Amino acid sequence: MAVLSLVLLLGLPVFLLGVFIWAVLKHFLTAEVPSTMPYPVKLRFLHCLILYVIALGNTLEKLRICSMPRFVRFLQDSMTIIEKDPRVVVTNLRFGTIPVRLFQPKAASSSPRRGVVFYHGGGGMFGSLDSYHSLCNHLARETDSVVLSVGYRKAPDYHYPTIYQDCLNATIHFLKDSRTYGVEPSQVIICGESMGASTVAMVTQTLVGRTDLPQTRAQILIYPAVQLLNLQLPSFRQKRNVPLLTHELYMTFLCDYLSIDYSWKNAIWSGAGIPPENWKKYKKWLSSDNIPNRFKNKDQEPQFPGPFNESAYLETKTRFDVRNSLLMADDEIIRQLPETFLVSCEHDILRDDALLYKKRLEDQGVPVNWYHVEDGFHGCVPLFDKKFFSFPCSQNIVNSVVSYINGI
């Protein structure tokens, strides 16, 4: 027993070191950090760390000790230091089965405040109320708003449409009882980052035309995914290996979110699962022809969609649900959407999703405020106050969101 314990004790550091070396090698063999990005060494280190944690999580999952998403979330929350802000009152609540966190400015107000419902990012796997606590606290304090953060259920136990349903139900509850929380019902903004931003778009489209609820004042979408069909847009090809959201991680999120076997990833990427008649119908919204020329390069675009594969279509057809490909919503729905603040990042695989949604909204007369971050990358926002891991783009995006909310 003593010998076995010694072997384990010595073997564990060797194993951990080996996994870290593998993560570093994988980063330098696959990742592309544009020369125009500031602090490239910091970004490389952060990406290596993410690859390392995910690899450890995958190892634990194969050993049936713990699922990878749970392991990553555990580390996220363990490393999150929640500092008490004397200017904001934080309350943990439950709306039915949905955990939520309420951030209320402590100072008295002579009138009901603005409300912000926030959905965090993380690809449906990562992120939590704790890991986005400081961001929501910052929004509440700097905009003098009541912020509700929604702790929706995630993988590995929950998949589409659970995130959407949890966020929708929590939002409806908040809208109905907004005065209870000191919020003016007509001044509720729905805001989200990454997966959360995609869910914001789903929820606001669903709420269109509801006469039993106050209409939302605005929606804030921070680098959202608004379609899951055309993965050959310029940004998907140009930025596919740019951290933090690489092509490989994006496909992992997509397949897990929709419960699609990972073996179909190449068919999804090439568009082989899109019937020709469907593409003919949706091309006007999903084609790269709608992307401004300055975001394209001179490389010849691949044939899209690829040769049709009916099996791929049947296995991946949940992508055609309008709640997953929000660009395909009827014009009547789009034109009723609230004023929109849309953030896109130049070095983001999802950059062109934001550009397509911007055009779709503007074509239907929806007011759009667009903030494009030339040095931005996907996933930078939660890093805004992480000191060594913070980037200028992180703070700039948060500042732009605060400025937009204060201007309403």
Q: Looking at the annotation, which residues are catalytic?
A: 194, 348, 378
- Looking only at Cα atoms, what is the longest distance across the chain? 73
Cα angle 38, 43, 47; round to 5: 160
Q: Which residues, 6 or more positions from 206, have their beta carbon under 8 angstroms from its beta carbon?
A: 168, 323
Asked if 369 and 404 count as a contact pair (C-beta separation under 8 A), the reply is yes
Peptide bond into 337 cis (omega under 30): no
Label the pairing between strands 113-119 and 98-105.
unpaired
* Three-state secondary structure call for residue 384: coil
Which residue type occupies 186? S
| Closest to 396 (Cα-Cα) out of 370, 379, 368, 373 | 373
Alpha-carbon gap, residue 167 to 152, rounded angstroms: 6
Phi, psi for residue 213 in degrees, rounded to 5: -130, 150
Helix (H) or strand (E) holding 404: helix 392-407
| DSSP letter assigned to residue 158 | -
* Three-state secondary structure call for residue 183: strand
Alpha-carbon gap, residue 388 to 129, rounded angstroms: 22
